[in-house]
Each structure stands twice: as structure tokens, then as C-alpha cells.
Amino acid sequence: MVRFVPFVLAALAGLLQALSLAWPGNGQPQWWLQLLTLAGFVALLQRAGGWRRGAALGWTFATAWLGATFWWLFISMHVYGGLASPLAAAAVLLLAAFLALYYALAAGLWRAAAGRPWRDGVLFALLWLGAELLRNTLFTGFPWGAGGYAHVDGPLAPLAPWIGVYGIGAVAAWLAWLLAALAGRRAQGRGRYWIALAATAGLLAACNVHTAKAPAAASAGPRLQVALLQGNIPQDEKFEGGTGVPVALEWYGQRLRDTGTQLVVAPETAIPLLPAQLPEGYLEGLRDAFAQGPRAALVGIPLGSFDEGYTNSVIGFRPGAGGAVYRYHKHHLVPFGEFIPPLFKWFTRMMNIPLGDFNRGDVGQPSFEWAGQRLAPNICYEDLFGEELGARFADPATAPTIFVNVSNIAWFGDSVAIDQHLQISRMRALEFGRPMIRATNTGATVIIDRFGRVTHALPRHTRGVLLGEVEGGTAFTPYSRWVSRVGLAPLWGLALAAALVAGWAGRRRPQP
């Protein structure tokens, strides 16, 4: 039984790691808990007997962490998709277990190479970074719940405009190793460890001071008056012709026509029908409502047809466009929800998910220009992929001044997914120095300023219109400059170098 105690502790640490991303009840990230739980895992890893046991501990920790982070996928598959509850629970567990293999690889490599204290900390941070990048990239990527998101309000937040969420995650991993090392008996009598701790505390304190002063920065430019629509259409009625569809068409249509702000934004698939399925003249009426005057709109709608294929899109109406309609098509699609991976049609046939196989848009599509702003739409979880949003900053003359996220998180009920997604959007605002306005079906419909602060918010799971002003950003952060040119290649290079060093050191060191 004693042999299994470390695995139980690793699973417990993983569960607490998930809670650090958005604490149940208030939805706030807990940066200190993320550091402590990862440090607890590192302490267990330091005591593992060899690379195989280290890899098993890493897999256990990550499976618990990821499963507890996106457990709400069960709601979409079972409650709204109609999949039997045992199969839905198994699907979530299998997804978490599969993604946890990346962290098992990182932990096994580190355990095989560990032995030199100063090198060990850097190796652990960079190998953990590599695991996060693998999860972000392979098999279309599902980086939801990356450890760096716990630090959107913490002392590491000022690093976001420099190294992004994955860089923050690597720094947090190094700090976790340092905490674990300081807790060891051999470290307590060594002055260099305490010097490292004092230097780290000084760095965190300096970051805190920077965070406190940041909002006093100079004005970024003109303000835009916005109205963000939240229809609160129940997911089990949203695509039903006798209930949700007519309510959505009437409510969103009326608010789009009557709201008097400079910009009106309706959420993902606010109009839940393809254009050919809409009542005659519906879209034309919306276009005519914005053909003149000082108003414009961005509206979520599926475009295309069942014969030629369809896209999850945003259309834009504005005066002076000569009848032309702006279009943005979602690029990063959700597996199983928006496209069917090869060999998995049998799985999706077991669920009732309408419009479940979309075509993909391009990376770096043009922004919607209006009232002196360049508005860059992104749909649902596309804002997880900062490197893809960063592609729009390659040309300073066309770089966005405001991000616009339209989402429908009703698929996941009244769960912590809403809070987790809010922290993700806030991190993008910090990375790029750009505000993020979010129009959603059930929440969180908010305005986030360029410092990552929520300035306006609607109560969740209510029907209403959020009115406010947003100030566009014009300055370029270091992160926006390098990620627009080379993507995440510098971080990949560091992670790969660490893997090579760990592999070389592991081969030279006899393993138990």
C-alpha cells in the first residue's frame, strides 16, 4: 500500500491544480495554489525511484489535473449531445489520460536526468513547457487549462506581454521546483538556496509593483461605444424550430435594429440558421438597418449550405460599404463539436450535435474596420491560441486595436468553464496589450481592458444588453512582435534543447 501513496498524493495535487485555474464559487484564479500544488508534485517526483516511476507520477498528476479542469465536457456530450453518461464520462477520462502522456514524457525525462540542482530547475521548467506546447499543437490542440492562466492576477502577470502564457507557465514550473528544493532537508542548510529564494521573492515583489502602476499608463486612443448582446437561449432549444430559433431571431433582430451604440455585437451562432433557412428578407433587413448612420454590427451566424459546406462565422454590417458584408470564418475548430476527426464518425453519430462538421477559415483574416478601430473577431475557444491571434500583428498598419470574442458556452451549462474561458481572454489582453470584448449566449459577456481587467460585465444566465466604452490599443508588446514573426518557435527551441540535454544526461546516468 505504501507504494501507492505517492500516486494518491499526485492525484490530489492534480485536482488542486485544476482548482487553481478558477476557484469554484468565485471563479478567480489562485496563482499561489498553482505554485504550491506543482511544487508538491515536484517533491514527489524528486523521490521517485527512476524514470519509469517518474513518468507514472507525471501521468497520474496530469490526468487528475486535466480531467478536473475540463470535466464539463461531460455536460455537452451527455446533457446536450445525448451520449449515455458512462460513455460521456469515459470519453472525458480518456481525453485527459491521453493528453497526460505529454506530461508523463516530461516527468520521465526529468527524472532520468536529475542530479545537478541548478540544472535540474531549468530542465524541469523547459520540459514542462514542452509538454504544454505539445498539448497546444498536436491533434489540433486542446490547451485549455494551461498552468499559466492561474497567474493572470498574480505577480507573474507582468511577464505576459514579454513571454506569453506558456513562458509564464515555464517560470512558474521553475519556481515550483525551487520551492520543492527549499523544502528538502539538504537544501535548508545551504546559503545559496536561500539567496535564490530571496532573489525570487524580490522578482515577485517587483512584478507586483509593476502591476500596481500599469493602469496609470497613458491613453491608447479613441473610445468606442459598444453594446454586447446576451440572449441566454437554452442550449437544448437553441436549434429547435419551435422554440429557440424563433426567440433568437426575434430578440437578436430587435436588439440589433434598436440599440443605438456605435457597435453592436451578437454572440456565436446568435442567428442559428444558415442563410437559405432564414425567413425571406431577414438578413437584408439587418443589412439595411446599418446601411446609414453612425452604427455597425458584428453577428455570429453559420454561413454556406449543406451541399457546399458551411462555416462558423461572424458577419459585419456598416454604413458606406456599398452593400458589402464583412465575413470572418472560424479557423480553429473544436474536435467532435465542429469537425469530425478521421475514423471517429461512429462516435459523433451517437450524439445529437447540429452543424457538427464545419469548413475551416484562414489564419490572420482581415479585421473589421470601424470608427477608427480595427476589430479582430475570434470565435469561442479560438482565443486559446495566442500565436494564431498574433499572426494579425505581422503588419503594423493592419494590426487589430480591439479583439472581439463571440462564444456560446451554453454547451457546458452553469459550470466553471465560463470562468476558465474568461481568464483565457484576460490573458490574451495582457499578452497583446489589446482590450477584449466578449459577447456570449450565457456568459461571460464582459468588456476587458488592455490591462486584463474586467471593466463591465453582465450577470450570467440572464438575457440582456451590456453597454460600455472600450479604448483600443495601439502599442505593440514584445510578445506581439516576436510571436507575429516566428510563432512559438523560440519556446519550442528551448523545450527541444531541454529534451536533448535530458536524454543525453539520462543515458550517461545509471538508472535504478
Is the Cβ–Cβ distance between 499 and 493 less than 8 Å?
A: no
Interior angle at CA 301, CA 92 and CA 447, nearest 5: 75
Beta strand pairing call for 402-407 and 263-266: unpaired
Q: What is the pLDDT of residue 216?
A: 44
**Helices of type H across 22-76:** 31-46, 51-69, 73-74
Which CB contacts under 8 angstroms, 24+ apart, belong to 276-280?
A: 276/305, 278/249, 279/249
CA gap 151, 148 in Å, rounded: 6
Q: Catalytic residue among 132, 268, 382, 431, which? A: 268
207 is catalytic: no
Residues 249, 213 contacting (CB under 8 angstroms): no
Which helix (H) or strand (E) segment is 456 a member of? Answer: strand 454-457
380 is catalytic: yes
Q: Are 329 and 313 in contact (CB under 8 A)?
A: yes
User: What pLDDT does residue 247 have?
Assistant: 96
pLDDT at 236: 85
Radius of gyration over alpha carbons of the chain, in Å?
24
Among candidate residues 132, 238, 338, 380, the one labeled active-site is 380
DSSP string covering 407-432, please? E-GGGG-SSTHHHHHHHHHHHHHHHH
Tell me if residue 22 falls in helix, strand or coil: coil
Quote the pLDDT of residue 192: 61
* Closest among 506, 510, 508 to 113, alpha carbons compared: 506
What DSSP line would sit under 241-265, residue for residue?
A: TTTHHHHHHHHHHHHHHH--SSEEE
Q: What φ, ψ does residue 436 adopt, rounded to 5°?
A: -125, 120
What φ, ψ does residue 176 adopt, rounded to 5°? -65, -45
Burial 139-160 (b: 16+ CB within 10 A, else e): eebbbbbbbbbbbbbbbbbbbb
Q: Which of 132, 238, 330, 382 is flagged as catalytic?
A: 330
Contact 271/299 with Cβ under 8 angstroms? yes
Look up residue 194 and give its three cell numbers: 536561500
The three cell numbers of residue 362 are 484562414
Query: ∠ CA 230-235-239 to the nearest 5 degrees?
Result: 100
Closest to 269 (Cα-Cα) out of 384, 362, 388, 353: 353
**Residue type at 502?**
A
Pinpoint the alpha helices (H) of 214-344.
Answer: 244-258, 282-289
345, exposed or middle or buried, with CB in 10 Å at 0-12, 13-18, 19+? exposed
169-182 per-position pLDDT tens digit: 999 999 999 999 88
Residue 114: which residues within 8 A CB-CB, separation 6 or more? 46, 120, 123
The number of beta carbons lying within 10 Å of the beta carbon of residue 281 is 9
Cβ neighbours of 510 (radius 10 Å): 7
Q: Which domains does the chain have, with CATH numbers?
A: 2-215+488-508 (no CATH), 223-474 (3.60.110.10)
* 330 labelled catalytic: yes
pLDDT by residue, tens only, the chain of 512 residues: 567 899 999 999 999 999 999 998 899 999 999 999 999 999 999 998 889 999 999 999 999 999 999 999 899 888 887 888 998 899 899 999 999 999 999 999 999 988 877 789 999 999 999 999 999 998 878 999 999 999 999 999 999 999 999 999 999 999 999 999 887 655 555 566 666 666 666 666 666 565 555 544 444 567 999 999 999 999 888 888 888 999 999 999 999 999 999 999 999 999 999 999 999 999 999 999 999 999 999 999 999 887 778 899 999 999 987 777 999 999 877 765 555 555 455 455 555 556 556 678 888 899 999 999 999 999 998 999 999 999 999 999 999 999 999 999 998 889 999 999 999 999 999 999 999 999 999 989 999 999 999 999 999 999 999 999 999 999 999 999 999 999 999 999 999 999 999 888 766 665 55
Q: Which DSSP state fits 276? A: G
